[in-house]
Chains A and B, each alone.
Chain A
Amino acid sequence: MAFARQDVRLEVEQLSFTYPAGVEALREVSLSIQSGERVAIIGQNGSGKTTLVRHFNGLLRPTRGRVLVGDWDTAAQSVAKLAARVGYVFQNPDDQLFCRNVQEEVAFGPANLGLAGECLQERVRDALKLTGLAGKEGINHYDLSATWRKMVALASILAMDTPIVVFDEPTTGQDAASVERIANIVEELGRRGKTVITITHDIDFCAENFSRVIAMKEGRILLDGSTRRVLAQEELLATTYVEPPQLARLGRRLGFPETVCTQDEFFEAYRSWRPGA
């Protein structure tokens, strides 16, 4: 089926945000994400990751600064309108799901964007297939395990076919098979030209599936660059409670000159490695 290819750039300019209780969660954050990029946002609990991405779809509005989604300033748009450009998968699926069964849940978003008939059904089928939910259409999500509820949450956003998709901690509590399914979804969204942004503590998942990493600390951006470059900054990352991925730690232990993030990179470095050299 055809998927919309829209060139929607995300632009965050000098964004600061203070919660009503007075906690200053973001301090002058600026970043720009091009259409089709795959970006992981990492950093310690409470560093502002979720607060940042909730600005992308208007769930939060800047205290100062601004956020542009394509030509829209989020401060001037409704969450309902922004939903056509930015899909956001909540950390906890129970915060998101409310319909009577999987089919209705996944159809809800695209129906609200105005889709109907065969076109809507096709979207829903595609999202269910990607998430491995085909055959579970009639089930109430409360009768599914937490793993599958997470997949329903993912499917209901994928079905909206937004140019930007944001995942908040997609791999928590998921087993290896499910993490692999999520990695495949990220891959497929990349093929469709979507921008994929994820918050994650799973640094190995980040190293293996994302090309750019933004590390946050205390409401600011600590590091922003290619995955290999950012994950090489072991000492800086430790200040925001991030440990390098396991393969990078092994490479470092062996004394490889370069940071390795994937198995392929490991073997490439290993072949030319001379201990003690």
Chain B
Amino acid sequence: MAIVQVEGLSYTYPLAISPALQDINLSVEQGEFVAVIGANGAGKSTLCYTLAGFIPHFFKGNLQGSARVAGLDTSQTSLAEMVVRVGLVFQNPFNQISGAKFTVYEEIAFGLENIGLGRQEMKNRVEKVMALTGIADLAHRSPYALSGGQQQRVALASILVMEPEVLVLDEPTSQLDPIGTREVFQVIKEMSRQGITIVMAEHKLEWVAEFADRVIALAEGRMLLDGKPREVLVDPALPAGHIGISRYTSLARRATQQGLWPAGRRLPVTLDEAADGFREARRAA
């Protein structure tokens, strides 16, 4: 049984003229790592909000169809119940941080306090997750006196600490340096290996190619493509001008025009695939 089951889902924000999502059907198995790609405005964040129940409970608007996540019907279940099973990491960490806490340590414990977890268990979890996300040294700093990248790690930690079954992330690495990005992707990949289901909106296609099990491309609120990264990321239907393509794919496309890419070989999405292709082309020449 799929842990995420979305059927015929359409959604229009309050006062908006056109729908942000239209007729979305999506089924995700437990432990899958699904990346959601698409241009700005394609509906990635809206899909994230829908899976976590922020739509319709926080944003209101007009929702049709259904979304069941971790066994809960999102429109029938209160946010208070949802947050225990489904975690949402916001795109902008500044909007996620509670404003009610003076230190990073307390901020990360905030969600656990709200579900009434025991003190010792709370401390254990907070310390474990701070080590995992590389922010142990920030424990006593104010969550507001941090760099964008540090804030983003705090936002991630304060959701991971809830140990959700389904983790929804809206561009969680947008403000991180490249190696910070790699670390966060590795942490998320490890979560998925442990059986946590991941749905992640992301623009960084090379990272998606390397880490995700599956990619969904959204365009103007509709599902455009759904498949393995190596298939979706080189699909000609991808509106390259908006979503973009990986730099390896783009390079190989130009190489193809110049006769420098092996005939019939699939375009690359990762460094390994690009290197193999160019080596083969050189041997053939």
Contact = CB atoms under 8 A, between A and B. Distances in A.
Interface of A: 21, 43-46, 50, 91-92, 94, 145-147, 169, 172-179, 201, 203-204, 238, 240-243, 245-247, 249-250, 253-254, 263, 266-267, 270, 273, 275
18 contacts: A46-B147, A46-B150, A50-B147, A92-B92, A94-B94, A145-B40, A169-B175, A173-B171, A175-B38, A175-B40, A176-B39, A204-B247, A242-B177, A250-B251, A253-B271, A263-B251, A267-B258, A267-B260
Contacts of B149: 45-46, 201
Contacts of A266: 251
Contact of B174 (A21, A50, A173): A173
A246 B247 contact: yes
A238 B147 contact: no
Given A46-B150, A177-B242, A273 B275 contact: no
A174 B248 contact: no
B68 interface: no
A247 B150 CA distance: 28
Contact of A243 (B147, B178, B275): B178
Contact of B148 (A146, A169, A270): A169
A264 B244 CA distance: 19
Interface string B145-159: 101111000000000
A241 B153 CA distance: 15
B176 A201 contact: yes
B271 A275 contact: no
B91 A175 contact: no
Nearest to B95: A94
B254 A177 contact: no
Contacts of A241: 177-180
B271 A246 contact: yes
Considering residues B40, B149, B181, which has the most beta carbons from chain A within 10 angstroms of its beta carbon? Answer: B40
B234 interface: no
Given A263-B250, A267-B255, A275-B282, 4 more contacts: A44-B179, A175-B243, A176-B240, A177-B241
A177 B150 CA distance: 27
Nearest to A148: B40
A264 B117 CA distance: 58
A263 B254 contact: yes
A44 B271 contact: no
Contacts of A145: 40-41
Contacts of A174: 40, 203
Interface of B: 38-41, 91-92, 94, 145, 147-150, 171, 174-182, 203, 206, 240-248, 250-251, 254-255, 258, 260, 271, 274-275, 278-279, 282-283
Contacts of A243: 178-179, 182
B11 to A, nearest CB: 16
Contact of B244 (A43, A147, A176, A263): A176
B191 to A, nearest CB: 22
Nearest to B151: A45
Closest 10 CB pairs of A and B: A176-B244, A45-B149, A241-B179, A147-B40, A243-B178, A241-B177, A175-B40, A175-B39, A246-B247, A253-B275
Nearest to A143: B15
Interface of B is mostly: helix
Contacts of A94: 94
Contacts of A204: 247
B175 A172 contact: yes
A203 B206 CA distance: 13
Contacts of B279: 254, 275
B153 to A, nearest CB: 9
Contacts of B255: 267
A201 B271 contact: no
Considering residues A45, A177, A204, A267, which has the most beta carbons from chain B within 10 angstroms of its beta carbon? Answer: A45
A273 B255 CA distance: 15
B242 A176 contact: yes
Considering residues B243, B247, B255, B279, which has the most beta carbons from chain A within 10 angstroms of its beta carbon? Answer: B247
B140 to A, nearest CB: 11
Considering residues B174, B176, B279, which has the most beta carbons from chain A within 10 angstroms of its beta carbon? Answer: B174
Contact of A43 (B150, B175, B177, B282): B177
Contact of B92 (A146, A240, A247): A146
Given A146-B91, A275-B279, A203 B178 contact: yes
Nearest to B203: A175
A115 B127 CA distance: 55
Given A175-B40, A249-B271, A44 B180 contact: yes
Contacts of B248: 246, 250
Considering residues A173, A179, A254, which has the most beta carbons from chain B within 10 angstroms of its beta carbon? Answer: A173
Contacts of B243: 175-176
A201 B203 contact: no
A91 B271 contact: no
Nearest to A44: B177
Nearest to A244: B178
A203 B251 CA distance: 17
Contacts of B178: 201, 203, 241-243
A267 B258 CA distance: 10
